[in-house]
Chains A and B, each alone.
Chain A
Amino acid sequence: MDFALTDEQRMLEETLTRLVTDQVSPEQRRLMLGASAGTSALWRTFSELGLLHMPFSEEVGGLGGDGTDLMIIMRALGRGLVPEAYLAGLVLPGQLLALTASDKQQARWLAPLLEGEHQLALAWQEYGARYDAFAISSQAIQRDGQWQLNGRKEVVLNLEAAAATLVTARLDNGKLGLFVVPAGASGTSTRIYRTIDDRPAGDLTLEHVTLPLENCLSEDVSTALAAVLALGRAALCAEAIGAMEVACDQTLAYLKERKQFGLPLATFQALQHRMVDMHLHLEQSRSMAILAATSLALPSSERDYKIAAAKAYCGESARFIAEQAIQLHGAMGMTEECYITPYAKHLVMFDHYLGDSDYHLETVSDLLKAA
Chain B
Amino acid sequence: MNLTFSPEEQVFRAEVRHFLATALPQDISERVRLGRHLRADDHLRWQNILSEQGWLAANWPKEHGGPGWGPVQRHIFDEECAAAHAPTVVPFGVNMVAPVIMKFGSVEQQQYYLPRILRNQDWWCQGYSEPGAGSDLASLNTRAVREDDHYIVNGQKTWTTLGQHANMLFCLVRTDPHAKKQAGISFLLIDMQSPGVTVRPIITLDGAHEVNEVFLDNVPVPVENRVGAEGQGWTYAKYLLTHERTGIAGLGHAKQALRHLKSLASRIEHRGKPLLEQPSFRHRVLKAELELMALEVTNLRVIAAARDGGVPGAESSLLKIRGSELRQEISELTRRALGPAALPFFPAFLHGDDDLDEASAQNAAASAQYFNRRKLSIYGGANEIQKSIVAKTILGM
- Chain A residues within CB distance 8 Å of chain B: 1-5, 68, 252, 255-256, 266-267, 269, 272-273, 275-277, 279-280, 283-288, 290-291, 293-294, 306, 309, 312-313, 361, 364-365, 368-371
Contact = CB atoms under 8 A, between A and B. Distances in A.
B304 A255 contact: no
A167 B9 CA distance: 46
Nearest to A314: B294
Contacts of A2: 1-2, 304
B397 A252 contact: yes
A276 B391 contact: yes
Contacts of A4: 1, 304, 308
A284 B295 contact: yes
B266 A284 contact: no
Interface string B371-397: 000000000000010011011001111
Interface string B284-302: 0111011101111110110
B81 to A, nearest CB: 19
Which 5 pairs from chain A and chain B are nearest by CB? A287-B297, A371-B263, A272-B391, A284-B294, A266-B397
Given A1-B3, A1-B300, A370-B276, A285 B294 contact: yes
Contact-residue size bin, chain B (C-beta under 8 Å from the other chain): 35 or more
Given A3-B305, A269-B388, 14 more contacts: A1-B4, A1-B6, A266-B397, A276-B387, A280-B322, A283-B315, A284-B291, A284-B295, A288-B294, A291-B3, A294-B2, A309-B289, A368-B262, A370-B266
Nearest to B4: A1
Contact of B322 (A255, A284, A294, A368): A284
Which among B294, B303, B304, B395 has the highest number of chain A CB atoms within 10 Å? Answer: B294
A276 B395 contact: yes
Interface string B309-332: 000000100100110000000000
Nearest to A9: B1
A371 B298 contact: no
Which of A266, A284, A364 has the largest number of chain B CB atoms within 10 A?
Answer: A284
Contact of A287 (B286, B294, B394): B294
Nearest to B6: A1
Contacts of A275: 391, 395, 397
Contacts of B287: 361
Given A1-B72, A291-B3, A364 B397 contact: no
B5 interface: yes
5 contacts: A1-B300, A272-B397, A273-B384, A283-B315, A364-B286
A368 to B, nearest CB: 7
Nearest to A252: B395
B251 to A, nearest CB: 12
B270 interface: no
A276 B301 contact: no
Q: Majority SS of interface residues in chain B?
A: helix
B1 A293 contact: yes
Contacts of B391: 272-273, 275-276
A257 to B, nearest CB: 12
B283 interface: yes
Nearest to B299: A287
Nearest to A5: B1
B103 interface: no
Contacts of B200: none
Contacts of B1: 2-5, 68, 290, 293-294
B282 interface: yes
B188 to A, nearest CB: 34
Nearest to A365: B286
Interface in B245-271: 259-260, 262-263, 266
Nearest to B75: A1
A371 B262 contact: yes
A290 B3 contact: yes
A237 B5 CA distance: 24
A226 B294 CA distance: 23
A272 B393 CA distance: 12
B302 to A, nearest CB: 10
A3 B304 contact: yes
A306 B290 CA distance: 9
Contact of A365 (B5, B282, B305, B395): B282
Identify the interface centre among A3, A256, A272, A276: most chain B CB within 10 Å of its CB.
A276
Nearest to A68: B1
Contacts of A5: 1
A204 B273 CA distance: 45
Nearest to B308: A4
Contacts of B5: 1
Contact of B262 (A279, A312, A370): A370
Contacts of B298: 283-284, 286-287
A217 B397 CA distance: 55
Contacts of B6: 1
Contacts of A3: 1, 300-301, 304-305
Contact of B318 (A68, A280, A285, A312): A280
A280 B321 contact: yes
A68 B1 CA distance: 6
A272 B387 contact: yes
A267 B321 CA distance: 21
Nearest to B285: A368
B286 A361 contact: yes
B390 A309 contact: no
Nearest to A6: B1
A1 B290 contact: no
A2 B2 CA distance: 5
A309 B322 contact: no
B2 to A, nearest CB: 6
Given A276-B395, A361-B283, A364-B290, A283 B3 contact: no
A365 B250 CA distance: 25
Given A273-B391, A294-B2, A371-B259, A1 B286 contact: no
Given A313-B290, A361-B283, A256 B2 contact: no
Contacts of A364: 286, 289-290
A68 B395 CA distance: 27
A291 B262 contact: no
B346 to A, nearest CB: 25
A288 B293 contact: yes
A51 B9 CA distance: 36
B201 to A, nearest CB: 35
A368 B266 CA distance: 12
Contacts of A277: 387
B9 to A, nearest CB: 8
Given A272-B391, A279-B394, A364-B289, A290 B318 contact: no
B263 to A, nearest CB: 4
